[in-house]
Amino acid sequence: MKQIKFLDVGWTYQALAPKMDAAAKRVLESGWFIHGDEVEAFEKEFALYTGAKHCIGCGNGLEAIELVLRAAGVGPGDDVLVPSNTFIATWLAVTRTGANIIPVEPVEATYNMDPAKLEAALTPATKAIIPVHLYGQPSDMDPIMAFAEEHGLFVVTDAAQAHGAVYKGRMSGTLGHAAAFSFYPGKNLGAFGDGGAVTTMDDKIAERVRKLANYGSTEKYVHECKGFNSRLDEMQAAFLRVKLDKLDNWNWTRKTIASIYLEGLKDTPLVLPVIGEDIQSVWHLFVVRCKDRDGLIKHLAENKIEASIHYPVPPHKQGAYEEMATVSLPISERIHSEVLSLPMGPHMDEEDAQRVVEVVKAFF
Ligand X SMILES: *Cc1c(COP(=O)(O)O)cnc(C)c1O
- Do residues 62 and 273 touch, judged by C-beta distance below 8 A? no
CA distances from 303 to 226, 323, 354 (A): 54, 41, 13
Cβ proximity to ligand X: between 144 and 160 the closer is: 160
Does 233 bind ligand X (CB under 6 A)? Our answer is: no
Q: x/- site string to ligand X, residues 9 to 48, per CB under 6 A?
A: ----------------------------------------
- List, in sequence order, every residue forming a beta bridge with 113; answer none if it has no partner: 106
Residue among 294, 324, 325, 292 nearest 308 (CA): 294
Cβ proximity to ligand X: between 195 and 346 the closer is: 195
Stretch that binds ligand X, among 58-66, 137-145, 267-275, 289-297 (CB under 6 A): 58-66
CA atoms within 13 A on the CB side of 248: 6
b/e per residue 147-169 (b: at least 16 CB within 10 A): bbeeeebbbbbbbbbbbbbbbee
Q: x/- site string to ligand X, residues 178 to 207, per CB under 6 A?
A: ----x-x---------x-x-----------
Cβ proximity to ligand X: between 191 and 360 the closer is: 191
CA dihedral (28, 30, 32, 37) in degrees, to 10, reads -110
* Chain position whose Cβ is nearest to ligand X: 61
Alpha carbon distance 153, 310 (integer Å) = 29
Stretch that binds ligand X, among 13-21, 36-44, 56-64, 149-157 (CB under 6 A): 56-64
Cβ proximity to ligand X: between 211 and 310 the closer is: 310
Residue among 24, 49, 53, 55 nearest 244 (CA): 49
- Do residues 38 and 234 touch, judged by C-beta distance below 8 A? yes
Euclidean distance between the first and final Cα of the chain, in Å? 21
Cβ proximity to ligand X: between 93 and 357 the closer is: 93
How many of the chain's residues bind ligand X (CB under 6 A)? 15
Smallest distance from ligand X to CB 11, Å: 19
Cβ proximity to ligand X: between 43 and 352 the closer is: 43
Smallest distance from ligand X to CB 303, Å: 28
Element (H, E) at 104: strand 100-104
- List, in sequence order, every residue forming a beta bridge with 208; answer none if it has no partner: none
Cβ proximity to ligand X: between 43 and 158 the closer is: 158
Stretch that binds ligand X, among 60-68, 217-225, 226-234, 328-336 (CB under 6 A): 60-68
Smallest distance from ligand X to CB 58, Å: 9
> CB within 8 A of 275, min separation 6: which ones?
110, 137, 281
Cβ proximity to ligand X: between 164 and 196 the closer is: 196
Cβ proximity to ligand X: between 122 and 156 the closer is: 156
Which positions from 64 through 123 interact with ligand X, judged by CB under 6 A?
86-87, 89-90
Which positions from 121 through 160 interact with ligand X, judged by CB under 6 A?
132, 158, 160
Among 4, 27, 47, 61, binds ligand X (CB under 6 A): 61
DSSP 173-206: TSSSSEEEEE--TTSSS--SS--EEEEES-HHHH
| Contacts to ligand X by CB under 6 A | 60-62, 86-87, 89-90, 132, 158, 160-161, 182, 184, 194, 196
